[in-house]
Amino acid sequence: MFWGVNFLPEEEQRFQKRQTAYKIRIKDILNSKYIKTEGFYPNYLEANDREVSRINIIGVVVQKSEINNYKILTIDDGTGRISARVFENNTLLDKIGVSDIILIIGRPREFSSEKYILIESIKKISPAWAKVRKLELEKNLRGDGAKKKGSKAISDKHSIEEYAAELCRNRVFKLIKEIDKGEGVSIEELSSRNIKDIDKVINNLLKEGDIFEIKPGKLKVLE
């Protein structure tokens, strides 16, 4: 029974399933279709072959603002950015600031074709957990891809060019970590180091979630 309403067994199971807070990338939230429902069933996203009405994300706070009666965080997880909002519990975000790594449990919402997260709970976490989450989601995606391809084995095709690119990637990653004194490293400073294809390397690191842009033009290692 829920809110005084009797569910049939199958309906109850479906309702409970939708209440799972799925671990998901921001990219998948933004690329999903938002479905509005009627009755007691919550609205949900069609994401990764699931009906996702509650989400569990980890990301970096890159902006914090307040408009009228609600507060907004902009979150970046390396795959995209999305806003997370609080309308009533105005103290929920008091101890959260820009550059904090946070875990959010919330509900996906859409307004004027823009998706956002309605925050249920939020907490600061260790940077190590962000790395764990990234690896966990990558593993899940690889598993899904293997199933769709019939678990076809992929041979090792590392070329000399790929090896060189990996060395360059590691060099830039370590350089950002070494130079950063707490406020991030400017892209301009990295460009002055005469590293081949530096813009491409930076973009790949951002896409992979190994670094993030703490503010325009300033990069920081996620670890």
CATH class of 9-128: mainly beta
pLDDT for 216: 86
With tokens 């899904």, the residue in question is 144
pLDDT tens for the chain, 223 residues long, are 334 444 445 544 444 444 788 899 999 999 999 999 887 788 899 988 888 999 999 999 999 998 887 899 999 998 999 999 998 766 888 889 999 999 999 999 999 989 999 999 999 988 878 888 888 887 777 666 555 554 443 334 444 566 567 778 888 888 888 888 888 899 888 888 888 788 888 888 887 777 888 888 888 887 5
* 84: number of Cβ within 10 Å: 22
CB 44, CB 109: distance < 8 Å: no
pTM (whole model) above 0.85: no
Domain spans of the chain, in order of start: 9-128, 156-221
93-96 long-range contacts (CB < 8 A, ≥24 apart) are 93/64, 93/119, 93/122, 95/124, 96/61, 96/64, 96/122, 96/124
Question: What is the helix (H) or strand (E) element at residue 50, kind and residue range?
Answer: strand 50-52
Q: Going edge to edge, which strands form the sheet with 218-221?
A: 185-186, 218-221, 211-215
The CATH architecture that domain 156-221 belongs to is Orthogonal Bundle (1.10)
Query: How far is it, in rounded angstroms, from Cα 212 to Cα 81?
Result: 11
